[in-house]
Structure 1
Amino acid sequence: MLKLMWRYTMRYKGFVLMNLICAMGFVLIELGLPTLLAQMIDEGAKNNDVAYVEKMGWYMLLVVLVGILLNIGLGISTARITSNITADIRDDLFAKTQTYSHIEYEQIGMASLITRVTNDAYQIMLFLQNILRMGLVTPLMFGMSLFMVFRTSAYLGMFVLAALPILLIGVIAIAKISDPLSKTQQTNLDKMNSILRENLSGLRVIRAFVKEDFEEKRFATVNDAYATSSKKLFWLMAFAQPGFFFLFNIVMIVIIWTGSIQINQGSLEVGTLIAFIEYIFHALFSFMLFATVFMLYPRAAVSAGRIEEALAIESEIVSPKNGITQTKTAGVLSYQNVTFAYPGQSETPVIRTISFTANPGETVAFIGSTGSGKSTLVQLIPRFFDVSAGSIELDGHDVRAYDLPALRNKIGYVPQKAVLFSGTIAENLRYGKEDATEEEILAALTLAQAMEFVSALPEGIDTQISEGGSNLSGGQKQRLAIARAIIRHPEVYIFDDSFSALDYQTDAKLRAALYDVTRQATVLIVAQRVGTIRHADKIIVLNEGQVVGTGTHEELLETCPVYYDIASSQLTEEELKK
């Protein structure tokens, strides 16, 4: 934890130096006031020297003004350091998550990642605020106060020393108790975020199956667990502070009683006792504040550990040094004995020893039963996953040898589930091409058969899309996702079952329009409907992760029983004979 904080804090050395100067100055000012007060009483008030009292009063006023300025400087430097560090941590975490492959996302979990970027970073900020404001001031104040205590009266100082071990034992005990509670609290917060995320994204399913009560109970269970751990932490802190004050007050009573006896005996001045009480107050109060900071440590340590874990994870999918960025050909794709198994499932490959070639100008389609590995097969090209065995070559080079951005810039990928982002329709299409003009956007929408519904919207391409595209139908989202891929004019088009939400008429129009745009590119289509792929140059039939047939629609009807079964379940006898 300390390494993490030190690494980020050292980015702002100027503000750290300002913080140290203001903290040290503030301590000297705070301890200077009791000294001036003691002199005012013992040398001025006792001797009825009005001029001396006034002079010391002006000195004290000046010291107070300087103390105010130093305190303001301390607050400014603390605020700048903590806000910048929190922003840096969140930026670094977000940037790191962008490098994760699907494996790392599954390893940590989406809800946990969101918690780490938001709540865990906030816990670090709270701890740093206390460290920089009190964590620096209080040790200095405590040390200087103890020095002044023993300099003023070594005898009375012994009472302060007697209380310190009790305070120290209390702080250590509280820290040990709060550490497991903090870990439990953060774990429960992850679970809460996970359930909340699932509920918000699956709201329609929950309502369709009338499971609102079940989900409420599920959330309430985790919420109660979070509340229980939080209550225990709050109870711990609630008892800690009064306990410290109780001990603090006992020490003060003993010192005032003993000091009064010494004044009565003439061995101690009134002003000295008042200054001594101030020094003790600063010493014990500083220790108590530092103890409060120390009690925050377990929670911050848990958060820091989770942040460090997320930052330390290295992605399984990395861009090689000096990766390939340019090739002589454009769109030549070759699968060579490709086998793939998801991590942790090496004994059950999803696809096995698949080989085929696709050239520019060709449309290659994949069809098969659910779970046959169609989507997985095409997701290996942009390296969402890496092959377990064999190789995939694009333009004569293994995809793993490419610079990742260069590889993915060659590909126009339309996922099975159309994903749109909050923003305008134009902004979503510019994901495909950042500098796309309005004319290019309109042309892509026209090709994707989306212009009709977009032009009917009040603001056209400037219409705002809700989070996840919830204000659009499934077919509208798919057409916008297709337009986003078209606008970049890639070398390889991958349509991963991206026509499933379209009606047959729109599907046919869209594929006809795509023909002119994609005639120089390699087109891969994953589909469930035979009607979508029957005119493909090559159809690859998959069953249980293996190729069981390759050819045109007509050839497969005669040579591949699996394809015939799929086709006969979707087409009429007349259509099968055509």
Structure 2
Amino acid sequence: MKLMWKYTMKNKKLLFCNLICVLGFILIELGLPTLLAWMIDIGIPNNDRSYVIKMGIWMLAIIVVGVTLNICLGYVTSRITSNVTADIRDDLYEKIQTYSHREYETIGVSSLITRVTNDAYQIMLFLQNVLRLGFTTPLMFGTSLYLVMRTNRTLGWYVLGALPFLLIGVIAIAYYSEPISKKQQKNLDKINAILRENLSGLRVVRAFVNEDFESKRFEKVNKKYADTSTRLFSLMALAQPAFFVLFNTVMVFIIWQGSLQIDAGSLKLGDLVAFIEYIFHALFSFMLFATVFMMYPRAAVSANRIQEALDAEPMIKDNKDGVKDTDKKGYVTFDDVTFAYPGPSETPVIRNVSFDAKPGETIAFIGSTGSGKSTLIQLIPRFFDVSQGAVYVDDVNVRDFNIEALRHKIGFIPQKALLFKGTIADNLRFGKEDATIDDMKKATDIAQASEFISQLPEGFDSPISEGGSNLSGGQRQRLAIARAIIRRPEIYIFDDSFSALDYETDKKLRASLKEVTQDSTVLIVAQRVGTIMDADRIVVLNEGDVVGIGSHHELLKTCPIYHDIAASQLSEEELAK
């Protein structure tokens, strides 16, 4: 409730309007039975037509005002709940942006999507009921109960006698619904996980003809969610019929006893009519409040899940007051770096790595799969933090940088070239927001992407579907390279970013890169020796250890592992050069 209250209190003016509408609506709702009682007990017995008309006009006016206030209440409630939900989603999304890989793995991407969408929606539904009914019903109930006891205390005891039964039922339903709500949201996480995995891997599923297997897997989780939801909704559905049974029982006793008192002359007919209206408002208000109360466990589960995501402490913490600018530009140093992924085993992935790079140099990394190449370069932009040793950029420990300033120095091209839904221009401007068409042309010329872009009908305005699925792997990779080039960073990091290119395009691209990276440091992770053989230095990794550093020709003579890799890819003539 603390989370919901915190965000709701940001709308104090709207809350005040909500309260005014609630109070006015209550006065009007309870004023109608009183006016009706006066009409029956005073106007009709005395055959006072003008009095009856007068009361009728007052009642009509009250109805108009009541409807207006009810409309205003609905509008104000919608504004508040929309603002609260939007604020929660904004804060949650902003928080998620600060997460390191560890938090994504711990909470789960599919669970985070559920929390931003469904959990926030559950809170919105609950707050709508709270603001419309949670404020109205307690006041309505209290005022109605007072009028019941003031009108006829003897009949009022029937109403009070029914309240404990209602209260016990409400508490029991709320108690049993909370664990079911938790289970329901967890099952929804699983549905999202399977759906996300299946859609992203649709081609693999079809290639292995496993549609039936995936359908059964989804059906199994979906059935669990449906069963849990059925149990929850069945439990909630018990409330209304149970209430009406109790309500009608009380009404039978009230009408029976009321008719006896009218016959005895101790109660007027108008008072009995008003009394029945007061009872209806009292008990119906209690039932509506009970409905809100029963919704609370489900909203509380969602609020706790959102709070958990908001409270998660990122493993990589930004140094807000850290270094934002340096005199040196493009220097990278690894000083005895050891790194292990967080987890139970914490076995080092790379061990005691030391090297340095300066502007104008190209440093390449090669090794067998799983040797730690990609992990090593991801320590530079602080996607992970070192376990031991230190990484320096421009002679400053990366942990001492303002993380935004650090990453502005770097142009990072990951293994998987990810493009965003939009146009080619939108994706290129992701690297430089104010990039002009000339900037784009230069970057795509260097990345060898101009040719295929010029063949598209809309050029730079050509649409790109989600993930760049309407482009080939090589086209995506070239656009990802252009996106990094366009910002002219001090440090270029290519994480196996040439793997989808043919040898000729690879060669042309690297030749073009030399012209724009003369004053920058270039770090390349590659599997192909042909891509890196012209590098100033090559770092050879094997199972996390550096087993050789030197030029292509030096390593052929001094590093057996590099020689074996080169021999498997190059001809004898190329090796002899």
Which category describes the TM-score, using the shorter chain as reference length? Answer: over 0.9
Matched AA of 1:534: M
Q: Using a 3 Å threshold, how does the CA distance of structure 1 residues 359 and 415 change in structure 2: closer, same or farther?
A: same
| Residues 83-122 of structure 1: pairs in structure 2 closer than 5 A | 83-122=82-121
The residue that corresponds to 2:45 in the other structure is 46
In 2: Cα distance, 1:345 partner to 1:522 partner: 36
1: CA distance, partners of 2:259 / 2:289: 30
Give the Cα–Cα distance (whole angstroms) in 1 for the partners of residues 310 and 122 of structure 2: 17
Structure 1: which 5+ residue stretches go unaligned? none
Deviation by residue 1:271-319 (Cα, 9 ceiling, x = unmatched): 0000000000000000001111111111101000000011111211122
Deviates more, 1:200-209 or 1:188-197: 200-209
Q: Which residue does 1:142 correspond to in 2?
A: 141
Change (3 A) 1:315 1:347: closer
| 2:337 maps to 1:365 | no
Is residue 494 of structure 1 aligned with residue 493 of structure 2? yes
Partner secondary structure for residue 317 of structure 1: coil
Residue 335 of structure 2 aligns with which residue?
A: 336
How many angstroms apart in 2 are the aligned matches of 1:29 and 1:468?
57
Structure 2 counterpart of 1:300, one-letter code: A
AA aligned opposite 1:173:
A
User: The residue matched to 2:348 in structure 1 has which SS?
Assistant: coil
> SS of the counterpart of 1:371?
coil
Partner of 1:560: 559
Q: Distance in 2 between matches of 1:494 and 1:521?
A: 11
CA distance in 2, matches of 1:46, 1:565: 112
Residue aligned with 2:6, SS: helix
Q: Deviations over 1:496-553 (max 9, x none)?
A: 0000000000000000000111111000000000000000000000000010001000
Partner of 2:254: 255
Pairing of 1:178-217 with structure 2 (within 5 A): 178-217=177-216
AA aligned opposite 1:422: K
**DSSP 3-state at the match of 2:347:** coil
In the alignment, which residue of structure 2 is the partner of 1:453?
452
SS at match of 1:338: strand
- State the AA in 2 paired with 1:217: K
Identify the residue that residue 319 of structure 2 maps to in structure 1.
Answer: 320
Give the AA of the match of 1:135.
G
Q: CA deviation at 1:77?
A: 0.9
Amino-acid identity (%): 69
Match of 2:404 in 1: 405
How much has 1:346 moved relative to structure 2? Answer: 5.5
**Residue identity in the other structure for 1:244:** F
2:331 and 2:134 mapped to 1: Cα distance? 62
Cα distance in 1 between the residues matched to 2:204 and 2:227: 31
Q: Does 1:163 align with 2:162?
A: yes
Distance in 2, matches of 1:346 and 1:541, equals 25
Q: Deviations over 1:315-345 (max 9, x none)?
A: 1112214210111110111100000000015
SS in 2 for 1:360: coil
The aligned counterpart of 1:290 is: 289
Superposed CA offset, 1:447-498 (max 9, x none): 0000000110110010110000000000000000000000000000000000
| SS in structure 2 of the partner of residue 350 of structure 1 | strand
Measure, in 1, the Cα distance between the counterparts of 2:336 and 2:372. Answer: 15
**Within 1, Cα distance between the matches of 2:60 and 2:569?**
92
1:153 matched residue in structure 2: 152
Equivalent residue, structure 2, for 1:388? 387
Distance in structure 2 (CA, Å) of the matches to 1:267 and 1:321? 78
Residues 339-361 of structure 1: per-residue CA shift (max 9 Å, x gap): 00000155410000000010100
Give, in whole Å, the separation in 2 of the partners of 1:517 and 1:346: 43
Counterpart Cα distance in 1 of 2:218 and 2:454:
42
Say yes or no: does 1:74 pair with 2:73: yes
* C-alpha separation in 2, matches of 1:46 and 1:165: 39
CA distance in 2, matches of 1:487, 1:437: 10
Q: Specify the alignment match of 1:467 in structure 2.
A: 466
Shift of 1:3: 1.0
Q: Which amino acid aligns with 1:33?
A: L
Supply the distance in 2 between the matched residues of 1:161 and 1:346 (Cα, whole angstroms): 63
Alignment partners' CA distance in 1, 2:297 and 2:247: 25
CA deviation profile, 1:163-196 (whole Å, cap 9, x unmatched): 0000000001111111111111100000000000
Displacement of 1:237 in angstroms is 2.1
Q: CA RMSD in A?
A: 0.7
The CA deviation at 1:48 is: 1.2
In structure 2, the partner of 1:231 is: 230
Amino acid at match of 2:572: E
Give the match for residue 545 of structure 1. Answer: 544
State the TM-score, normalized to the length of structure 2.
0.99
d(CA) in 1 for partners of 2:346, 2:222: 39
Name the structure 2 match of 1:271: 270
Residue identity in the other structure for 2:251: M
Alpha-carbon separation, structure 2, partners of 1:385 and 1:408 = 13
Letter in structure 2 aligned against 1:399: V
Give the aligned residue type for 2:196. Answer: R
Distance 2:238 2:346 in 1: 56
Once residues 133 and 332 of structure 2 are traced to their aligned partners in structure 1, the CA distance between those partners, rounded to angstroms, is: 63
- Post-superposition CA distance 1:435-458 (Å, at most 9, x none): 010100011001000000011011
Q: Distance in 1 between matches of 2:73 and 2:139?
A: 14
Match of 1:534 in 2: 533
- AA in 2 matched with 1:303: S
Aligned to 1:435: 434
The size of the alignment, in residue pairs, is: 577
Separation in structure 2 between the aligned mates of residue 347 and residue 309 of structure 1, nearest angstrom: 25
User: Which whole-Å CA distance do the structure 2 matches of 1:178 and 1:319 have between them?
Assistant: 40
1:28 Cα deviation after fit: 0.8
Residues 1:186 and 1:347: Cα distance change in structure 2 (over 3 Å): closer
What SS does the corresponding residue of 1:490 show, helix, strand or coil? coil
Specify the alignment match of 1:22 in structure 2: 21
Residue 51 of structure 1: how far off its partner (Å):
1.2
TM-score by length of 1: 0.99
> How far apart are the structure 1 equivalents of 2:82 and 2:216?
37
CA–CA distance in structure 2, aligned partners of residues 286 and 300 of structure 1: 21
Alignment CA distance shift 1:87-1:73 (3 Å): same
Distance in 2 separating the partners of 1:345 and 1:277: 67
Secondary structure class of the residue paired with 1:489: coil
Runs of 4+ in 1 over 2 A off after TM superposition: none
Q: Which amino acid aligns with 2:556?
A: L
> Which piece of structure 1 moves more, 101-110 or 344-353?
344-353
